Amino acid sequence: MAPAQTLEATQTDVLNHNGKGTLKGLAGSEVDVLENYEGQYRFAPIEEAQVSRAMIKRYFETMYERAISDVVIVGAGSSGLTCAYQLASMRPDLKITIVEANVAPGGGAWLGGQLMTPMVIRKPADRFLREIGVPYEDEGAYVVVKHAALFTSTLLSRVLAMPNVVMMNATAVEDLIIHEDHKGQQRVSGVVTNWTLVALNHDTQSCMDPNTITAPVIVTATGHDGPMGAFSAKRMVSAGLLKELGNMRGLDMNRSEPAIVNNTREVAPGLVMTGMELSEHDGKNRMGPTFGGMIASGIKAAHETLRVLDS
Ligand code: AHZ
């Protein structure tokens, strides 16, 4: 029999080779656990309140701690997640907070195109696949990942495993915080958030005020126009930071991908824009179902973010 362990010893596998183990229960009593798939599986006992508190404590500690972040990334599609990975790899000291409106992060990168699963990535952005460990077929000028979900789930798991990254999904950015700096210049200094289910119900309920996260740099990666897409670009217009939207142009893969990557930049003081949101901001073509541009734009956004932080 394995030696008795306390419930706090979560990293230690208490099971012996027969699948049996003993833990110290809540009141100090010894409890047996058993991994057995012939009808005798026995879990360590738990109280419902422990489950609630395990979640609440961590979630609200995270909210408390990340109310002041170093970088907020708005949108966890392919460009936002790539930016998070690159930034967190280069600067493990930064508090990087991803805010994603959907319950399921990943944006448009769960499928290739037209509900088909293979994902095309043009070279040289394939380097990133090798870096995160995603296999692919090499077709010469481009590579194909057998399922877009393999790319997205791998990237997501790599990002979330990084200790300095947190993600608040099911949370929408409803507005930007815009401060005036000492020179009288408007500077994006944070985001206004609400749980998405609340944000979607503003029209049906009376006044449900939001919350805020401040950060010296906000990376906006909210995609092209849609129910919530191009959020910051649109808000920049109504807030007077941008005269008018460029509006996304028709599909042209060869023009679009380099245009998005090369124009990934700080579009307003404190606000770095990446991915397809730039097509709406600048009036660039769309690329449709080829993802090298999103990867390279996310990487460039990470470098831009560091430049802004260090300036
Ligand atoms: O849920 C959105 C998605 O996951 C999220 N998002 C949008 N508005 C938000 C808000 N607060 C929080 N106000 C928000 N999250 O942003 C993510 C955008 O992901 P995406 O995959 O749509 O954008 P991307 O720019 O990373 O990748 C776009 C890939 C392309 S190209 C293309 C075309 O050319 O037609 N279509 C797509 C989907």
ipTM entry: 0.99
**pLDDT band of 21, cuts 50, 70, 90:** confident
Q: Is 102 in the pocket of ligand 1 (CB under 6 A)?
A: yes
Residue 227's pLDDT is 65
Q: Is 80 in the pocket of ligand 1 (CB under 6 A)?
A: yes
Cβ density class 118-139: b for 16+ within 10 Å, e for less: bbbbbeebbebbeebebebeee
pLDDT of 100 > 70? The answer is yes
Structure tokens, 199: 């944000």
Residue written as tokens 């508090």? 95
Mean pLDDT of 174-185: 93
Q: How far is the CA of 275 from the centre of ligand 1 (A)?
A: 8
Residue 11's pLDDT is 37
- In whole angstroms, give the CA distance from residue 54 to residue 46: 11
DSSP label at residue 205: S
The separation between the first and the last C-alpha atoms of the chain, rounded to the nearest angstrom, is 60
- In whole angstroms, give the CA distance from residue 9 to residue 144: 43
Domain locations in the chain?
Answer: 68-310
pLDDT of 228 > 70? The answer is no
How many CA within 13 A on the CB side of residue 202?
A: 11
Residue 6's pLDDT is 38
Mean pLDDT of 92-105: 98
Q: Is 117 in the pocket of ligand 1 (CB under 6 A)?
A: no
**pLDDT band of 16, cuts 50, 70, 90:** confident
Q: Is 155 in the pocket of ligand 1 (CB under 6 A)?
A: no
Residue 118's pLDDT is 98
What would be the CATH architecture of the domain defined by 68-310? 3-Layer(bba) Sandwich (3.50)
- In whole angstroms, give the CA distance from residue 27 to residue 35: 23
